[in-house]
Amino acid sequence: MGNRTSRRKTLPDNGIEDKTHIGGEESTHVNKGATCCPSEVTSNTPQISPPDDITEYSKKVFYKFVILHSEMDEMEALRIKNLLQDTFHIKPGLVFAEMPAGQLILQALDDAVNGSAWTIILLTGNLLREAWCEFQSHATLINSIHMSHKHNTVIPIRPKDNYLPRDKTPFPINLINALEEGSSEFTQLVERTFQESVYQKQYAIWKAEKESSGQREL
């Protein structure tokens, strides 16, 4: 896809709460006390210019995962995407930089999250430098509260380099056990987390919603 010229908007965030584990039969929940205010959008947004060889986003495809990332972590997000696709055969995947440049920013986030089975939050040292990046993370957690089939589908990943330490990770995200690339258990946890049965269930819901929306437009 060509270079993006639109700029993403920075938004505030509020708290979230509660914890269990993710992956396998363990899961992570966030309490409904968290709120976020999309109306408080400012014009200070990061610019993302993905390489020309990135696969274009398609609303006709239900992705297995989308990676939310800092503007500075675009190439790292692509590396993690390729790792999951090529090594673990979890595909197709998407990074947020691949979203269409002309879309409204909140609509793009909604499409990315609801058009994929899992939402990966890339935990690097750049996360805290961008208010928009933090908002993406918090918004996806809130989305997983209000949509029952999205429960436990937010997956933080700490890459092996330039990762965000646990003691510096925002509290709402820290409630979820992150997958750590540098851990000896990383492979096992990835295989336990990205279950085909979960993907198929979400795909069926997404497909039914698409068909229902198409019938209403006729």
Instruction: Give me the residue spans of the domains in the chain.
Output: 63-217
Separation in Å, CA 57 to CA 15, 144, 155, 166, 184? 31, 22, 21, 32, 33
pLDDT at residue 12, rounded to an integer: 39
Vertex 25, ends 24 and 28: CA angle to 5°?
A: 95
pLDDT at residue 36, rounded to an integer: 32
Distance between terminal CA atoms of the chain?
31
If one looks up domain 63-217 in CATH, what number appears? Answer: 3.40.50.10140
pLDDT tens digits, one per residue of 84-123 = 999 999 999 999 888 876 667 778 888 888 999 999 999 9
pLDDT tens digits, one per residue of 128-146 = 887 666 666 667 766 665 5
Give the bridge partners for 157, in sequence order. Answer: 122, 179
Q: pTM of this prediction?
A: 0.70
